[in-house]
Amino acid sequence: MRKIPKPPKADDPRLAVKVGSVTFPNPFMVASGPTVKWKEQLVMAEACGWASASLKLAFDPEPYISLPPRYRYFKKEAYHAFTAEKRLTFKECLQLLQEGRKLTRRLILLANITYIGDKPGLTGWIEMAQQAEAAGAHVIELNMCCPNMSFNVAMTESARTEQTGASMGQNATAVSMITEAVKQSVKIPVFVKITPEGGRIAEVAKACYDKGADCVCSVANRLAIADFDIENPKQGPYRLQDEPTLACFSGPWIKPLALRDVFEIRRKAGPGPAVLGTGGIASARDAIQMIMCGADLIGVCTETMLKGFDFLPRWLKGMSDFMDRHAYQSCRDFRDLAVGRITSADKLTLHGGYAEVDLDKCTGCTLCEAVGHCNAITIVDKKSHIDRTKCTACSTCVEVCPEEAIHMVDAGVLEKKS
């Protein structure tokens, strides 16, 4: 890890976000994962200006899968995949909370927890939350999202009896019961981090809010199969691991799905409740998009794994500059801007038009002529010719052309068909 930098200049007060009783100096959180496992990482995160950190998932009792980490970042595809991961014991979590509180001044600490024991009712969850609160957690984050535990096992072999993470997170009744019990047992805010697996994220989020959750967090992770060698399919793409396996995907590739998760939650929950959006955030611009899709807070994991923590001051400046340009006084001023604009497919306003070629730029490479769903393009005398009467204005050829020789001509709004 790099040397601890000088603390950042004063916070931009416009970036502060209040959730429940806690004020976050800015929306950025180091999301639970391998960069929030030791006290040194917490110190570094605070020094780089991060407002909060959600500690690595802790299980009580000992997690039934906890292996040395196996990660791979697929640069070209821009996805990160992990197959094996070391979780914290609850004792380690409590110690980290205590040390973190001693060593940091303003970093808001979330305890990311899962109970898998056999204490009666919801006692196990309640006791974990209470002990985390006593150890110094500012927020409890219930982990209803990890896809690489029982959900992974169920997808590939037989289901386990312990339903944790993404298996449990699809069950709105179970999640909301735990949320309610924990909420009634601690004074600090309760966040619930839920899974998109199962396709019911907005419904589960609503159930959590109804039972008092202070914030619902999206995780974005999906289980998927990474690129592998077709000459040796029995060997997965992971180093120092024999078998191929379903892996937990994150990173820039996942951002479009993460934006959708946040949009879905916000749309169903309305403007009131807080949402923490996580998944593929790798710039201030990404974060602004996430806020426009409904997020109050922003979680970042993969980017911190690859680059550490010290890019944050650039992102904070990017946010402040953006707010200056638009005269926004708080993130709330641009939160949800995309939510109101995202329109259902049956209500779209389409413009008629056609594609047109700039013959001076066209090199006659024939790539546009090859477009499989188009019969409007022919190459005549080494130049592309587009028949307007056959052009459906789909616009694929614009991106296909390597010379940027094609543009769309707008012929005005098409009449809507009912």
Ligand X SMILES: Cc1cc2nc3c(=O)[nH]c(=O)nc-3n(C[C@H](O)[C@H](O)[C@H](O)COP(=O)(O)O)c2cc1C
Residue (276 or 397) nearer to ligand SF4, CB: 397
Among the listed residues 133, 297, 282, the one whose alpha carbon sits nearest the alpha carbon of residue 216:
297
Number of residues this chain uses to bind ligand X (CB under 6 A)? 30
Residue nearest to ligand X (CB): 57
Asked whether 312 and 28 are in contact (CB, 8 A), the reply is yes
Asked whether 111 and 139 are in contact (CB, 8 A), the reply is yes
Residue (103 or 350) nearer to ligand SF4, CB: 350
Among the listed residues 165, 103, 191, 91, the one whose alpha carbon sits nearest the alpha carbon of residue 132:
91
> Residue 82: which residues within 8 A CB-CB, separation 6 or more?
69, 70, 71, 72, 148, 247, 248, 250
Q: Segment contacting ligand SF4 (CB under 6 A): 95-103, 192-200, 202-210, 373-381?
A: 373-381
**At closest approach, how far in Å is the CB of 377 from ligand SF4?**
5
Distance CA 406, CA 139 (A): 53
**At closest approach, how far in Å is the CB of 54 from ligand X?**
7
Which residues in 38-133 belong to E strands, given as ranges?
Answer: 52-54, 58-60, 70-74, 79-84, 88-89, 108-115
Q: Segment contacting ligand X (CB under 6 A): 78-86, 228-236, 285-293, 312-320?
A: 78-86
Cα 187–192–194 angle (5° rounding)? 175
Residue 395 touches which member of ligand X, ligand SF4, none, C-beta under 5-8 Å by kind: ligand SF4
Residue 396 touches which member of ligand SF4, ligand X, none, C-beta under 5-8 Å by kind: ligand SF4
Is residue 34 close enough to count as binding ligand X by CB under 6 A?
Answer: yes
Query: Cβ of 354: how many Cβ atoms within 10 Å?
Result: 17
**At closest approach, how far in Å is the CB of 90 from ligand X?**
13
Residues 240-269 within binding reach of ligand X (CB under 6 A): 250-251, 254
**At closest approach, how far in Å is the CB of 374 from ligand SF4?**
3
Residue 365 touches which member of ligand X, ligand SF4, none, C-beta under 5-8 Å by kind: ligand SF4
Residue (306 or 400) nearer to ligand SF4, CB: 400
HSE-up (13 A, CA, CB side) for residue 126: 11
With CB under 6 A as the contact rule, the residue among 278, 290, 310, 384 that binds ligand X is 278
Query: Cβ of 120: how many Cβ atoms within 10 Å?
Result: 6
Among the listed residues 253, 241, 362, the one whose alpha carbon sits nearest the alpha carbon of residue 303:
253
Is residue 364 close enough to count as binding ligand SF4 by CB under 6 A?
Answer: yes
Residue (177 or 371) nearer to ligand SF4, CB: 371
With CB under 6 A as the contact rule, the residue among 329, 392, 409, 413 that binds ligand SF4 is 392
Asked whether 79 and 250 are in contact (CB, 8 A), the reply is yes
Q: Segment contacting ligand SF4 (CB under 6 A): 127-135, 263-271, 334-342, 371-379?
A: 371-379
**At closest approach, how far in Å is the CB of 380 from ligand SF4?**
10
Among the listed residues 82, 81, 109, the one whose alpha carbon sits nearest the alpha carbon of residue 96:
109
Residue (124 or 280) nearer to ligand X, CB: 280
Site string for ligand SF4, 308-347 (x = CB under 6 A): ----------------------------------------
User: With 0-12 CB in 10 A as exposed, 13-18 as middle and 19+ as buried, what is 145?
Assistant: buried
Is residue 300 close enough to count as binding ligand X by CB under 6 A?
Answer: yes
Is residue 37 close enough to count as binding ligand X by CB under 6 A?
Answer: no
Residues 347-376 within binding reach of ligand X (CB under 6 A): none
Site string for ligand X, 200-229 (x = CB under 6 A): -------------------xxx--------
The tokens of 307 are what?
A: 């680059």
Is residue 195 close enough to count as binding ligand X by CB under 6 A?
Answer: no
Which residues in 243-295 belong to E strands, given as ranges?
Answer: 247-250, 274-278
Judging by DSSP bridges, how do beta strands 79-84 and 247-250 pair with one another? Answer: antiparallel
> Residue 183: which residues within 8 A CB-CB, separation 6 or more?
190, 211, 212, 213
Sign for the pseudo-dihedral over CA of 79, 85, 86, 88: positive
Residue 34 touches which member of ligand X, ligand SF4, none, C-beta under 5-8 Å by kind: ligand X
Distance CA 159, CA 155 (A): 8
Residues found near ligand X in the complex (CB under 6 A) = 31-34, 56-57, 71, 80, 82, 85, 112, 143, 145-146, 193, 219-221, 250-251, 254, 278-281, 299-303
Residues found near ligand SF4 in the complex (CB under 6 A) = 355, 357, 362-368, 371, 374, 376-377, 384, 386, 391-397, 400-401, 403, 405-406
